[in-house]
Structures are given as structure tokens and as C-alpha cells.
Amino acid sequence: MSTESQPGTTPASTAPVVRLVGVNKHYGALHVLKDIELEVTKGEVVVVLGPSGSGKSTLCRTINRLETIDEGSIFIDGNQLPEEGKELARLRADVGMVFQSFNLFAHKSILENVTLGPIKVKGMKKSEAEKLALSLLDRVGVANQKDKLPAQLSGGQQQRVAIARALAMQPKVMLFDEPTSALDPEMINEVLDTMISLAKEGMTMIVVTHEMGFARKAADRVIFMADGQIVEQATPDQFFTHPQSSRAKDFLGKLITN
């Protein structure tokens, strides 16, 4: 397994947006990602399922280098994710991330939360960043909240702001790690609907979720992880009706009986 894969050998236009080759990661004695091979093509929506502790969050976090890897390579749009430096910051901006907790800046307005990245990281003019932010806030249905502070919004609204903030960096891929699991039930659908429309508009997405309805409706492909490995990959229909592995059968069985 080489850690020396040549970057830039695939033209960006035909390269997968995200490509993981032989990725391994340990936390001490725990082998948390095992020989991960994954390619996500432009416009594809991949839903990652699996039991708690199977490595789903770690997988997401390695893709924008919030976590280092021990072995293997990660490519974003054909470019290998470097260890550090300017190039890392640039590639990281190509990867939008939305977490369970919204992590909005508490003392900044909704509008400022969305303009901050484009101004600071992309050097966008304030007026231009505000125009972009307003169109994105409108797209996720919270433009009328622009002057409020995050705490004055509902959880569902805050999460939609977090989506707008990630989109403001004009990422090539959006990663979602359980974006609805901290929300009250009545707010889950407004966030899922926003994600479904993003998917329909052709955004490349990797989504960790327990929302099987979303997986069925929006996923092009389901990836099932267990013990740090990708155990199964299939269309949602194939996965939910004919899971192959005993781990996947067990996982789905528990969902149905709960």
C-alpha cells in the first residue's frame, strides 16, 4: 500500500470529487479506519450508515483533514490533500462540512456568520460576500433572520444557516455528519428538505445520517460501515431490501424493531 500516489495524474474534470486510496487510521490501539477505498463522483449523493463507533465521523473528518491519517491518500478533485500549509487551506475550502452541532459564532449576526469565511479565507469584498450570503440564506429559507444572533433562531433554522455558511465557500463537496440528530423532531424535515434540494441541484454530498427516509429518497449510493471498514456499498433500494452481510442485516433488523 503506497503512501506515494502521484497527485495530479488524473485531469480534474474527470477525477472523482473525493477519492480515498488505502486509508488507514488508528487511535492508539484502535484501528478506526481500515483500508478505506472510496470514490465519489460529481453530483453523487453518498449516504454513510453503520453502527455507533464504526468510524463514520472519523471518515468525514479525515476528508477535510480535521483528522490525520496514518496510511493512504485522499484526493479532492484530483489533488492530493497535503499535510499542511496554504495548499491544505485551499483544498479544505473545497470541502464544506456541517456537523450535528451548528457551531455558529454566538456573537455574530446570521449574515456575518455566512460572510465571514468568504471575506477572511477567499478575500471576497464585503458587499459581494453579503450578496452571496443573502442569496444562500434565501435558498435555505432564513433570509428574514439575517440580522438576528444564532441563539434567537430555532435549531432547525440554525442548522440551515450552517448549511448556507458552508455553501458560501462554494465547496466542491459537502459533508454532513448527522446534521439532524440534535434537532427536535419537528425541525428535522426542514433541514432534510434543504439537503434534498441541494442534492437535486447537483451538489456532491457525503451524508452520515440515521434518517433512513433521506437515504432512500436522496442517496445514489449507500455505504455501510462496521468496525472501521466499508462492508457494503449498494443503491438504497438494494441495500434496504437485500443487505448482503450479516452486519448489515443485523443493523437493519435493529432499526425495524426499534
Ligand X SMILES: Nc1ncnc2c1ncn2[C@@H]1O[C@H](COP(=O)(O)OP(=O)(O)OP(=O)(O)O)[C@@H](O)[C@H]1O
Q: Which is nearer to Mg ion, 49 or 69 (CB)?
A: 49
Report, in Å, the least distance between residue 50 CB and Mg ion: 9
Q: Which stretch binds ligand X (CB under 6 A): 37-45, 55-63, 85-93, 135-143?
A: 55-63
Residue selected from 55, 155, 179, 236 as contacting ligand X according to rule CB under 6 A: 55
Q: Is 50 in the site for ligand X (CB under 6 A)?
A: yes
Q: Which of 57, 73, 80, 159 binds Mg ion (CB under 5 A)?
A: 57
Contacts with 241 (C-beta within 8 Å, 6 or more apart), sequence order: none
By C-beta, is 34 or 148 nearer to ligand X?
A: 34
Q: Does 243 engage in binding with ligand X (CB under 6 A)? A: no
Q: Does 32 sit near ligand X (CB under 6 A)? A: yes
Binding site for Mg ion (CB under 5 A): 57
Residues forming contacts to ligand X in the complex (CB under 6 A) are 27, 30, 32, 50, 52-58
